[in-house]
Amino acid sequence: MPLILPGNVGSATAGGFNVANSCRFDGSSAYMHKTPGSAGNTKLWTWSAWIKKSLPDGADLGIFGQYIDANNFFRIRYRSDQRLQVDNYTSGSATFSVILGSNNEHRDISAWYNLVVAYDSAQGTDSNRVKIYVNGVLQTVFQAATYPSQNVVTTLPVDGTPIELGRTTDSQFFNGYFAEVVLIDGTALAPTSFGEFDSNSNIWKPIDVSGLTFGTNGFYLDFEASGNLGNDANGGTDLTEVNLAATDQTTDTCTNNFATMNPLDNFYYGATFSEGNLKLVQPSSTECYTTSTIAVSSGKWYWELKITASGSGKEFVGIVDKVATASDFSPYSGNSQAISYYGSTGDSKAGSTSTNSSWGATFGAGDIIGVALDLDNNKLYFSKNGTWQDSGDPTSGSTGTGALTVPASPADGVWYAQFSNIHNTASTFEINFGNPTFSISSGNADDNSYGNFEYDVPAGYYALCTKNLSEYG
């Protein structure tokens, strides 16, 4: 189903602790690691992180772990059915394994989740030895649960073996975003050490963790140093980055959630989403249509699309108000669901007309298309490499100089960003809602100082993120 606002955005409330940065993992090769130089407390520890997943199902996603060998390891992962699993193996046998039940499948790729795992094997009650909290709530319903015997040690955090973030024992990589990653060595903490419920919205939101005692092998990753994303903000040994770049530092966080493409809301055949659902590779002889995770009904909004590789300019960029069938994306469909700018001819298709209008320049590989959506005046503008097409002026208000007209009453009451290629040709899209996967040469933010765009954001237009939505949406 289309997603307008995630259920736990962490930013629907004013004030409180602000998380500035997250780190984006590509799901294929990116991870971090550090090797402890001394033994930690293998009977008593806590791990916490804010997580935004990018794949809805069908893949195992490694989150965090420590691997000695095939018979001795600890891991936290999402299984292919999207159920969280926490387990530890010693000498080939599971000392414990806990899998969340079907009522807690984390399929929402637009939401941030806070996961806390607390281990205390000294507890007299076996179910108290491994505790899992999701958004501040203790999990009590499991598909399967085998608890450790009293005083059993875990593989974590032993010395001499890498602790890994974004990968687990069998090289399953995480696809998505991490923020506020914490390992506490020597204390089992409650989730209230990492977050709190907002008194007005009852949304679980992060708090400042910098004052915690992290222990011998503990660490705190806030991802605020672009040149050293593995920096331990607690002052300990940094984690080493593998296949991560400065562009993987993002401002998409649990306190300001940005739009991405939505693999739950698409029509595609063989296409691959990566880079936190901001990059889509479409193979040849296929079609592809997808929308944004955030939709809007008012306000003024800006985003960019880079055509990294083009299928002969067969790409469409625009907006859509209702996703019913694949044809709703098509500028040739003759309905009101799609308003598009077409790369091969530079044509526009707007409203319910079945004809296309010669309108702007053609576009293809290497070009960056800017989109300015003015829902206060029902106007839509496109730019190519910084030049507004048809002499457009997004600040012209109701005059709508060079604009395409947006129907005043969208079918679902909202508009989504949409991207498509319907001509069975290979292409690659990279979407920039403010956190680009591609290098930015200039760097431009909106009037609220949110986002990082290649070209100037028109005055009064804003990035698609929850802080802007709460103010202008």
In the predicted structure, residue 59 carries a pLDDT above the cut 60: yes
- Report the alpha-carbon distance of residue 85 to residue 144 in Å, rounded: 9
Contact 289, 423 (CB under 8 A): no
Taking residues 221-247, what's their average pLDDT?
96
List pLDDT tens digits, range 146-177. Answer: 999 999 999 999 999 999 999 997 778 999 99
- Name all domains of the chain by residue range, CATH numbers in brackets: 22-250 (2.60.120.200), 261-472 (2.60.120.920)
- Would you state the pLDDT for residue 7? 36
Mean pLDDT over each residue of the chain, to the nearest integer: 88
List pLDDT tens digits, range 257-302. Answer: 999 998 877 666 667 888 999 998 887 766 778 889 999 999 999 9
DSSP characters over 46-104? EEEEEEEE---SSS-EEEEEEEEETTEEEEEEE-TTS-EEEEEEETTEEEEEEEE-GGG
Tokens of 230: 């593995």
pLDDT band at 354 (very low <50, low <70, confident <90, very high): very low
Helix (H, G, I), strand (E, B) or coil at 285: coil
- Report the alpha-carbon distance of residue 121 to residue 132 in Å, rounded: 14
In the predicted structure, residue 192 carries a pLDDT above the cut 80: yes
- Report the alpha-carbon distance of residue 250 to residue 116 in Å, rounded: 22
Residue type at 328? D
DSSP characters over 148-199? PPTT---STT-TTS-EEESB-TT-PBPEEEEEEEEEEES----GGGTEEE-T
pLDDT band at 325 (very low <50, low <70, confident <90, very high): low
- Would you state the pLDDT for residue 420? 79
Taking residues 96-111, what's their average pLDDT?
87
For 48, 304, 417, the CA distances from 372, given in Å and listed in that order, are: 38, 9, 11
- Would you state the pLDDT for residue 15? 61
The Cβ-side half-sphere exposure at 306, using a 13 Å CA radius, reads: 18
Q: Which of 276, 294, 217, 240 is nearest to 51 (CA)?
A: 276
Contact 49, 182 (CB under 8 A): yes
List pLDDT tens digits, range 109-121. Answer: 899 999 999 999 9
53-62, 144-153, 360-369: the lowest-pLDDT one = 53-62
| Residues facing 87 on adjacent strands | 75, 97
pLDDT band at 197 (very low <50, low <70, confident <90, very high): very high
Among left, alpha and beta (phi > 0; psi -120 to 50; other), residue 316 is: beta
Contact 76, 205 (CB under 8 A): no
- Sign of dihedral through CA atoms 138, 57, 174, 254? negative
| Cis amide linkage into residue 157, ω under 30° from 0 | yes
In the predicted structure, residue 408 carries a pLDDT above the cut 50: yes
- Report the alpha-carbon distance of residue 367 to residue 96 in Å, rounded: 52
The pTM (predicted TM-score) of the whole model is 0.91
| Residue % of the chain over a pLDDT of 90 | 65
- Report the alpha-carbon distance of residue 373 to residue 209 in Å, rounded: 39
- Would you state the pLDDT for residue 12? 42
Tokens of 440: 């930015």
pLDDT band at 424 (very low <50, low <70, confident <90, very high): low
Helix (H, G, I), strand (E, B) or coil at 392: coil
Helix (H, G, I), strand (E, B) or coil at 455: coil
Tokens of 79: 């299984």
* DSSP at 470: H
Q: Which residues neighbour 124 within 8 Å (Cβ) at sequence distance 6 or greater?
A: 150
- Would you state the pLDDT for residue 10? 41
- Would you state the pLDDT for residue 52? 96
Residue type at 240? T
